Amino acid sequence: MTVTSDSSFNQNFDRHGSWRREFALRLKLLVEWLKENSLLSVAVEERLIQLESRVRNDKLMVAFVAEYSRGKSELINAMFFADYGRRIMPASAGRTTMCPTEIAYEAGVGTCLRLLPIETRLEGKALGDWRPDVPAWQRFELDASNPEQMAKVLAMVSETVKVDQDRARALGFWHDDEPDDNPLKGQDGKIEIPRWRHALINIAHPLLRQGLVVLDTPGLNALGAEPELTVSLLPQAHAVVFILGADTGVTRSDMAIWRDHLSMEAQHTDSRLVALNKIDMLWDELSTPDQIKAQIERQQADVAQILSISPSKVIPVSAQKGLVAKVNKDDTLLRASCLVDIERALADGVIGQRQQILQAALDAAIDELKGEADRMIHVRLRDVSEQMQELKGLEGKNVAVVKHMRARVEIERTEFEQSDARIQAVKSVHIKLLRDVFRQLSGKTLSFELTDLTTALAKTGLKLGAKKAYSETFGRLRSGLVRSQEGVADIRSMLDASFRQLNAEYGFSLNVPPELDLFRFSKDLDLIERNHNQYMSLGKSLQMVSSDTSTRLVRALKSRLRIVYESALAELELWSKLATSQMESQLAERRQNFTKRLDAMDRVQRAETGLHERLSEVGAQQAAILQQQTKLSELCATLIHRGSSQSGLATPTDDREQADESDELCDVQLDVVIGSTFTSESLPAYLQ
C-alpha cells in the first residue's frame, strides 16, 4: 500500500471543502428558484444569505500547543507545508515561535505576514479589537512561488528584543511574586521578550482556502502573558494538538500548560490530541524493533496516565522524519514516522464531528425555510381553489347573478382590509416586547453587569474577592439569558394568540416558528467562565496582583462576551423577522388574490373571456403551484440529505479498519527502517 501526503487529514478536509462548496451552489439554486417563483420573503432571504455565508466561510481551527523545543513548528511543517519542499515555519533548535501565529487564508488580503508589535499590550484594547486596525500591523509580502523567501520572512515570528525589568513587567513578562516563572536575565541585566504580540500569515494554500486555520502558539511564559490567547483563542479551537517530546516525557512546564490551559472535563476530551514527538530518537541499532515498540508503548501509557486521558489520544510521531519523508516521497519512512496516524486522528475525529454539527444546523434551517415557503404555496393553492369554486358557480348563471357575486367579493375585500390595522397592532406589540429582550442582551447591559468584576480586579494587592465576583457576574449573565428566554416565550405566546385570531377571521395561514433557544448561549458562558477560572486558582493569585494582568483579563472577557451577545442578538433579530414577515407576505398574497377574483368576474361579465377558458387558466395555475410544491421538496431534499450521504467521510467501520491497517503497517515499516536503516545504501544518509 502506498502512502502519500494527500491521505488522511488533507484528503478528508478536501472532501469537507468540496461538500461545503457543493452545498453553497445548491443553496444558490434554491434562492434563484424561490425568487423566480415569488416565494422569497425578506426574512427568508436574510436567513438564506446567512446560511450561504456560514457554509462558505466556515472555519476549522487546529491549535498546536507545546513548550519550547518539542518540535511543534516541525509538526506543522510536516502536516501542512511539505509540498513546498522545505521548512516554511521556523523550526530550528531552541525557541522558534515567540508569538501566537495564525495561519489562514482571507480573500483580498494577499499573500503576506502581518505582525502586531508587542508594545500594543500597553494600550487599552483587547487583542481581538486590533484585528481590523490595519495601520497597527506591520506587513511583509510573501512570494508563494519562492519557498526560500517565504521561510526567510516567516522567521520574523521568532524575533525577540531585550528590555529592562520594568519594561518586561509592564508588558506582562515579569512577575515579582513568581520568580520561578520569570525569564532569565542576560549578563547585561536585560530580559529577552518576543518582539511581536501576534502574527497573521495569509497564504492561498489549498487547505487554508477551504477554511482551515492553524494556530501556532508560543511556550508557557508567553502563553501566560497573553490572557486573550488562553481564554479566547485556544477555547475556540475545534481541535488542540499538544506536543510532548519522547526524549523528555511530561516535564513540569508541560504539565503546567496542560493543567492551566488544556485540560477539560471528560465529555470534552474528543477535541484534544497528544503528539508524542521525536520517536526517531529511539531508533538505534542497539535495540530491536520489538524493544523500541515496547518503549514507545510504555511512554504512551505513562503520558496518558499523567494527563488523565485515554491512551488512544496519545499518538507517537516523528515530525522531522515525516517532513523529510514527504519531501523525498519516501513511503517507507513516512509509515515509520507515524505521521499518518495523527493526520487520520484529526481527520476522523475533528472534521467528521465538525461536518455533523454543521450539517445538523443546516438541516434544521432548511426545514424551517421550507416550512415558510410551503405556507406561502398553501395560501396560493387555497386562493386558486376559491377562484375555481367561484368560477364553477358562475356556470349557467345570468349577468345579474355574476354581478351579485362580484359585489359579495368586494364586500369580502373591504372586510379583509381591516386586517391591515390588526396586523399593525400585532407588530406594534411585538416590537415593544422585542425591545425589552434586546435591552437584556445589549452592550450597555453587558458593561453594567461587568462593573463589579472590573472593580474587584482593579483593586491593588491580592484579588481575594475576584473569584466570588466572577461567580456572581456569570450568575447575573445567566439570569439575564433566562429573562431573555422568558421574553421570547412571551412574544411567541402573543403571536400564537394573534395568529390564531387572524387565521380564523381573515383566512390567513400564519404559523409561529419554533421557539428560539437562547439557553444554548449559556454553554458559551460556561466555557468562558471555565477558561477564566484558571486565573482564580491559588497558584495564579500572585500573578493577578499585577493590575496589568487583571486589566488584560477584563479586556479579553469583554471582547469574548460581546461576541456571544452579538450572536444572540443576531439570532433573535432573524427569528423575529421570520415570525412577523409572513404577515406582510400573506397580506400581499391575499390582496392579489382578491384582485384576480374580481378581474376574472369582470372579464366573464364583459364576455372578454369565455368562462371555460378562464376555468382552464385557473386550472393551469393550480397545476403550476402543485409543481412548485414538488420542486421545493426536491431542492430542499438535496440540501438536507446529500451532504451527509456523499461527504466522502469514512464510516465508523471503515475508520476501524483503516486504523487497524495503519497500526499494522506502522509496525511493519518500523521493522523495515530499524532492521535495514543502518546498512542499506538505498536509504537517506541521515539514517545510515
pLDDT at 651: 38
CA dist., res. 488 & res. 479, Å (int): 14
Confidence of residue 264 (pLDDT cuts 50, 70, 90): low
Are β-strands 191-194 and 138-141 bridged in parallel, bridged antiparallel, or unpaired? unpaired
CA dist., res. 391 & res. 608, Å (int): 15
**Phi, psi dihedral angles at 201 (to 5 degrees):** -105, 120
pLDDT at 671: 46
Question: pLDDT tens digits, residue range 269-286?
Answer: 567 899 999 999 888 777
In one-letter notation, the amino acid at residue 480 is G
Mean residue pLDDT of the chain comes to 79
Asked if pLDDT for residue 152 goes beyond 70, the answer is yes
Which H, E and C letters describe 578-645, residue by residue? HHHHHHHHHHHHHHHHHHHHHHHHHHHHCCCCCHHHHHHHHHHHHHHHHHHHHHHHHHHHHHHHHHHH
Mean pLDDT of 232-250: 86
Q: Strand pairing partners for 185?
A: 191
Mean pLDDT of 120-138: 87
Please give the span between the terminal C-alpha atoms of the chain, in angstroms, as a whole number: 25
Higher-confidence residue of 459 and 221: namely 459
CA angle 590, 583, 55 (to 5 degrees): 115
pTM (whole model) above 0.85: no
Question: pLDDT tens digits, residue range 551-562?
Answer: 777 888 888 898
DSSP track, 383-441: HHHHHHHHHHHTTT--HHHHHHHHHHHHHHHHHHHHHHHHHHHHHHHHHHHHHHHHHHT
Residue 300 to residues 74, 246, 312, 636, 671, Cα–Cα distance (Å): 20, 9, 9, 47, 19
For 496, half-sphere exposure in the C-beta direction (CA atoms, 13 angstrom radius) is 9
pLDDT at 507: 81
Asked if pLDDT for residue 141 goes beyond 90, the answer is yes
Residue closest to 349 by CA, chosen among 310, 319, 399: 310
Asked if pLDDT for residue 533 goes beyond 90, the answer is no
Q: What is the largest CA-CA distance in the chain?
A: 112
Residue closest to 465 by CA, chosen among 416, 529, 536: 536
Decide: 114 and 138 in contact? Cβ < 8 Å.
yes
pLDDT at 198: 92
For 615, half-sphere exposure in the C-beta direction (CA atoms, 13 angstrom radius) is 11
pLDDT at 493: 93
Mean pLDDT of 10-24: 77
CA dist., res. 272 & res. 350, Å (int): 10
Residue 505 has which C-alpha cell?
Answer: 377571521
The single residue listed with the C-alpha cell 420573503 is 41
Q: Which of 181-185, 592-596, 600-604, 623-627 has the lowest mean pLDDT?
A: 600-604
Which H, E and C letters describe 116-144, residue by residue? EEHHHHHCCCCHHHHCCCHHHCEEEECCC
* DSSP character at residue 107: T
Residue 478 has which C-alpha cell?
Answer: 445567566
Mean pLDDT of 227-241: 78
**What radius of gyration, in Å, describes the C-alpha atoms of the chain?**
32
Residue closest to 225 by CA, chosen among 82, 120, 104: 120
Question: pLDDT tens digits, residue range 378-419?
Answer: 888 888 887 787 777 766 666 677 777 778 778 878 887 888
